[in-house]
Structure 1
């Protein structure tokens, strides 16, 4: 069945994704704040790469570490032939002193996530979770 033969599929899929994203939002906020508090610069992102790898592992997403030295690549295979989707995020922080006073501010002097890579990384974990769950359904 396709969206063309049953227009309700898109409504069902939309509702499913909405509920799933609402449910995982607290974890993603916690994950983003953890990454924000532990910034790593340049290619020295071993802790962050480990966090990403553990998240992918917990989601049952096939992954490879050490790509391009510290990169992590997750692979979610669809059940049918079709286009390939590639999504990426940077994990590194900047050599800047954080002065935000946030509860989850950088714990490392002279380093902070001032460019949003902490958010990008957490968001991609969320996208991975959503894609994995959607593929397990019969939409």
Structure 2
């Protein structure tokens, strides 16, 4: 099955994850809830090699592929900014003075 079809199967889950993470913003080196959430999702996907505590609350997950070919690395920021969110929506920041606003 093409990857786009596999991704479409859990589109709603991904939307919920994004909204959840948006609602619990944490600042640099203090992303405990965010890191725990990401680790839990990775384990649900069957990733068993997860190195925690990188730069305090970061992580590295090793996902071994099934075939030959090049290796890729993916990187993502998890931290928020010290900004007060003024928009009012269902997944608004629950942490005053912190929000995900930089688009990473």
Q: So what's the TM-score if we normalise by structure 1?
A: 0.69
1:71 aligned onto 2:62: no
1:1-139, aligned counterparts within 5 Å? 16-62=2-48, 63-117=50-104
- The structure whose residues are more often helix, as a share, is 1
Separation in structure 1 between the aligned mates of residue 16 and residue 76 of structure 2, nearest angstrom: 18
Match of 1:10 in 2: none
Q: How many residues align?
A: 103
Name the CA distance, whole Å, in 2 between partners of 1:43 and 1:85: 25
Structure whose CA Rg is larger: 1
Task: Provide structure 2 residue ranges, at least 5 long, that are not aligned to the other structure.
Answer: none
Shift of 1:67: 1.6
* TM superposition shift of 1:79: 3.3
Cα distance in 2 for residues equivalent to 1:79 and 1:102: 41
Measured after TM superposition, the shift of residue 81 of structure 1 is 4.2
Report the RMSD for the aligned CA atoms in angstroms: 1.3
Q: Distance in 1 between matches of 2:66 and 2:88?
A: 47
Q: d(CA) in 1 for partners of 2:67 and 2:6? A: 23
